[in-house]
Structure 1
């Protein structure tokens, strides 16, 4: 049985008055809910043997509920939504009623890094086992759908033969480590995060001591001045900075997360030398394991612990109890040097080019992956990176092959010069496959992009600041709605007594950017909801009003927070 041991001996904090929060280092490890009981009864890693030896041979019906709806997530497997169940029933049905007998499978790509050989394997899995599906998530993963349990062992065999894995891709584990898509190639890079990401994944992915966290744990590491890993919304982020005395290293951020209780990460003010980065990461994740709240899953993310302790206390516990030594104080990162999605053609430090391209809302396919692999080979490139913005970047392209590559990418629907709307629109999986979703997202967002490109062609040249549009199928914010200029949260809305799929609107959020002073959460406008059918009308109206009303230098988010609510309807 794979379980997590009790926390090591160290100073134990006294319990808070009142009800236990299930903090192992305070309250002990007795489970306080069914989810915690299931995790202690059997760890997620051990289910792989049952998948290979029992479920793949005997079929879907042989999988018991605790494995199906729990432990299989440790291997990147979630049952997908049964077709034909409308969004109004999402909250009323039990998991077995919502679930189809097929899976979403998430392949973790730490740092978003792929070789040409790995890309071809991913393409083959899509066409052979996933009905041609493949999405680029905003966590730099590839996600498949329509995966049958009988095919999972062969999929693992193919992935692992080329160094890929689904271990800890989901579940209450340290999930994929976001990394700069330009790691090791950018002329303006502060430092290359690849060694740190590699050390974290080598040492800690699949570590039995980290398989029973209170909930998921999200990480990011970048050494690029564009701050391209959305560092404000991860549980831990290491952001490249230059210390005036110690040279390049990382600024430490902790406690970010969105969902239904959004909170931006905070700096601890600590400078992390490169050779201590994996150690510091390990310390933070163990604090989460030992002190994270386990009684209620809605309060089980690291952000709630940071909110109680504050940055100074968190840093003290990290240094004294987990690292055994202090970290130097360090500088904050500068304002981002440019867009973090890396779309377009740019020079590498070795004279070759990298080429960033935008699929529409992250939706690709096995056919596109096969075509992309052929384009890489023809361009003489062996490396591809995915981005936290649902984009992709082809590395190491000789200058004389860039034009042919760009033409080929455009032919696959991967635009190197996308419109502002295609470039800045993201969408989660939505009701097509997700059991939590209430509305469609991918098709709705893609249709809105096409319509906005047509309707706003006359003002595109006046739109000199990006306007991000993020479309989410439920309140959980996988598409980061609270940090978008226009964030749309899926819900059922009633119009003239008739229920329709629609969205609650969040406006004026955003993360660090070259034209924004600081990250901030969007505002909701009282009673402002739009149906899915009204979405293009609403966005067009809002964009035109912004262009007409703003003063020189205004960003959309800045304008939103200064106008009255009636102007935003």
Structure 2
């Protein structure tokens, strides 16, 4: 993992001291809320419906056990005993007292964490594949590049006040687990014909009220040009992006209105001016950062584990867990474990202080002291010996974290919705809870197979509903909450925006509508091996639309 150097430490501690003074002035009345708002947003503090919310950055989703234990302590001492992991690989505390925020930030600084650039019109937390450094299909670990981008973008003087927020994601594998085509800049690590590392570059993706899939600007960008090319993109956006209308201020709108070819020409022209004049990414600096992400001391192990095989054969619960939550690792004898934060009938992405501590302990003992946060609101233990999987499962089960539903119908992504968010127009969490209860039967879940349900409580799409296989958007109509269904979305390398299907559904009928969609798929699939997304792409929306309208009467 990356460790702070002297600059990082001084930078973060100075920001804490600065914000402590700003909070004191707000509490004394020397600053009005309007004056304080831009200051608190620069430190990840939001004013939600019921309380202040603090959003903590977890760069590229990587945590140590020590850091996770501190987050548990903050949850217990300063919140209501839990935290909420988000689709940006961040953690939110939703019940924070403003006067305690400086103390919280000081504690975070002590374990090399902060809340800088988790809000505002700046470059946000850089995200990455949650299996980075472990995935069997990986070309190269994307986290060194994500860290380089984090350092480059932190309080970048030219990009601190962009037309709108800006999000970057990096993946190191052909199978996209980081949803790079839904980002302002998405980067896929690749190699050219000579074996040299570089990037496929996507620009202009995003969701919200105008969902768009990113356009590919480069099939191969040499590694050394990473910062210059990103700077060229951001310069074009900063100069040409709209500032007269926040709903049309994202780079996706600029790409769309300018035209892909013209936008690419502008970026390439800016890049030609910058190349050789701005920071080129030196090979020795890449190597220095990469050293922080050197693989742990893996043992030489056989690919098969007799301990694991016996546990699968003798324990049906463990067998279900292994089938869904255990994934291939690039090292023989090791596995990646998804820790589901989606127990049946509970808010997706929430973890109690005790659960965070349990995961920290398990990671320290079994996963080289490392935890990942996924953009799908789960935790990941990236490096677990296959021999240790039964013990890890037992420890997770004792903590209430062994739900074997990774990638299934109950592994739902959901924003906080109207229960917390001042922008929301409908509730998300209760809908997610009721859907998971409707599909609680594990045999049924496993029969349905891979199915991603994603729920947003407003058009801002923090629940990524546009790229859900089944997407649900909560809206307000004449004082009532109702829900719109989209089908066929995907956030992976086959990225697609879902199509609106069927009428709007009330909060009392939306779960029935989801079940109608699932039952229609089960009736029309060619075999149990044909996934929901494959079936939808084969047969189209018509049978689903017909079934939904029939169910609605």
TM-score, scaled relative to structure 1: 0.78
1:281 is aligned, of 227, 230, 234, to 230
Structure 1 Cα separation of the partners of residues 434 and 398 of structure 2: 19
Distance 2:519 2:378 in 1: 27
Aligned to 1:482: 466
Mapped to 2, the partners of 1:150 and 1:386 lie a distance apart of 28
- For 2:34, what is the secondary structure of its paired residue? helix
Does structure 1 retain, via aligned residues, the 8 Å contact 2:372–2:382? yes
Tell me if structure 2 keeps the 8 A contact 1:356–1:416.
Answer: no
1:511 is matched with which residue? 491
For the 8 Å contact 1:493–1:529, the answer to whether it is kept is no
Change in Cα spacing, 1:280 to 1:419, as seen in structure 2 (3 Å) is closer
Residue 202 and residue 350 in structure 1: after superposition, are their counterparts in 2 closer, same or farther (change >3 A)?
farther
Distance apart, 1:313 and its partner CA? 2.4
1:256, 1:263 within 8 Å by CA — same for their partners in 2?
A: yes
Q: 1:418: Cα distance to partner?
A: 1.3
Cα pair 2:416 2:428 within 8 Å, conserved: yes
Look up the SS of the partner of 1:279 in the other structure.
helix
What SS does the aligned partner of 1:209 have? coil
Deviation at 1:231, TM superposition (A): 1.1
Unaligned runs of at least 5 residues, structure 2: 1-12, 277-323, 343-347
CA, structure 1 residues 47+428, in 2 after alignment: closer, same or farther (shift >3 Å)?
same
Map of 1:16-31 to 2, 5 A cutoff?
Answer: none
Contact 2:206 2:212 in 1 (8 A): yes
Match of 1:344 among 318, 326, 342: 326
Query: Which residue does 1:566 correspond to in 2?
Result: 546
> Could you give the per-residue CA deviations for residues 42-72 of structure 1, whole angstroms, max 9, x where no partner exists?
xxx9996663114247628554233444332
Match of 1:452 among 433, 439, 443: 439
Paired residues of 1:428 and 1:471 also in contact (CA < 8 A): yes
Query: After the TM superposition, which of the residue ranges 217-226 and 421-430 deviates more from structure 2?
Result: 421-430
TM-superposed deviation, 1:405 = 1.1
Deviations 1:525-561 (A, max 9, x none): 35x1222222322211221111112335462532443
Give the secondary-structure state (helix, strand or coil) at the position aligned to 1:447.
Answer: helix
Partner deviation per Cα, 1:93-151 (whole Å, 9 max, x = no partner): xxxxxxxxx31111111110111111111111111112223111111111111111111
Matched residue, 2:353: 366
Aligned to 1:463: 448
Residue 491 of structure 1 contacts residue 501 of structure 1 at CA under 8 Å; is this kept in 2?
yes
**Any unmatched runs of 5+ in structure 1?**
1-44, 83-101, 328-341
Q: 1:238 to 1:58 in 2, by over 3 A?
A: closer
Decide which moves more: 295-304 or 188-197: 188-197
1:182 counterpart (124, 131, 137): 131
SS at match of 1:175: coil
Counterpart of 1:134 in 2: which secondary structure? strand
1:547 to 498, 522, 534: 522
Aligned counterparts of 1:58 and 1:179: Cα–Cα separation in 2: 36
Partner of 1:73: 41
CA deviations 1:343-384 (Å, max 9, x no partner) are 424334264332112211212222221221122233253101
State the Cα distance separating 1:479 from its structure 2 match: 0.7
Task: State how far apart, in whole Å, the 1-side matches of 2:455 and 2:495 are.
Answer: 19
Cα pair 2:192 2:198 within 8 Å, conserved: yes
Q: Could you tell me which of 520, 527, 536 is aligned with 1:557?
A: 536
The structure-2 alpha-carbon separation of the partners of 1:51 and 1:434, relative to structure 1 and needing over 3 Å to count, comes to: same
Paired with 1:459 and 1:120, the residues of 2 have a C-alpha distance of: 36
8 A contact 1:191–1:249 mirrored in 2: no
Instruction: Give 3-state SS (helix, strand or coil) of 1:195's partner.
Output: helix
Name segments (4+ residues, structure 1) moved above 6 Å: 45-48
1:195 pairs with one of 144, 150, 154: 144
For the 8 Å contact 2:501–2:541, the answer to whether it is kept is no
Out of 496, 499, 517, the residue aligned to residue 523 of structure 1 is 499
Whole-Å Cα distance in 2 between the matches of residues 563 and 469 of structure 1? Answer: 19
Partner of 2:179: 230
1:172 aligns with 2:121: yes
Contact 1:319 1:325 in 2 (8 A): no
**CA offsets 1:174-222 (integer angstroms, 9 cap, x no match):** 0011112222233431112122111111222122322110010010011
Q: How does 1:314-329 map to 2 (within 5 A)?
A: 314-324=263-273
1:159 counterpart (88, 105, 108)? 108
Q: Residue 262 and residue 398 in structure 1: after superposition, are their counterparts in 2 closer, same or farther (change >3 A)?
A: same
- Decide whether the 8 Å contact of 1:358 with 1:422 is kept in 2: no
1:354 to 307, 329, 336: 336
Q: 1:491 aligns with which of 462, 466, 475?
A: 475
CA deviations on 1:377-427 (whole Å, 9 max, x unpaired) are 332531011111112111232333221112222333333621754554110
The aligned counterpart of 1:537 is 512
SS in structure 2 at match of 1:190: coil
Mapped to 1, the partners of 2:37 and 2:21 lie a distance apart of 19
C-alpha RMSD of the superposition: 2.6
Query: CA 1:60–1:447 in structure 2 vs 1: closer, same or farther (change >3 Å)?
Result: farther
Higher helix share: 2
Q: CA deviation at 1:314?
A: 2.4
**1:227 alignment partner, SS class:** coil
Shift of 1:299: 0.7
TM score, norm. by length of structure 2: 0.80
Distance, in Å, in 2 between the alignment partners of 1:325 and 1:53 is 39
Q: How many residues align?
A: 480
1:563 match: secondary structure: helix
Give me the whole-angstrom Cα distance separating, in 2, the residues matched to 1:434 and 1:57. Answer: 26
Within-5 A mapping of 1:26-65: 51-56=19-24, 59=27, 63-65=31-33
Task: State the Cα distance separating 1:263 from its structure 2 match.
Answer: 0.9
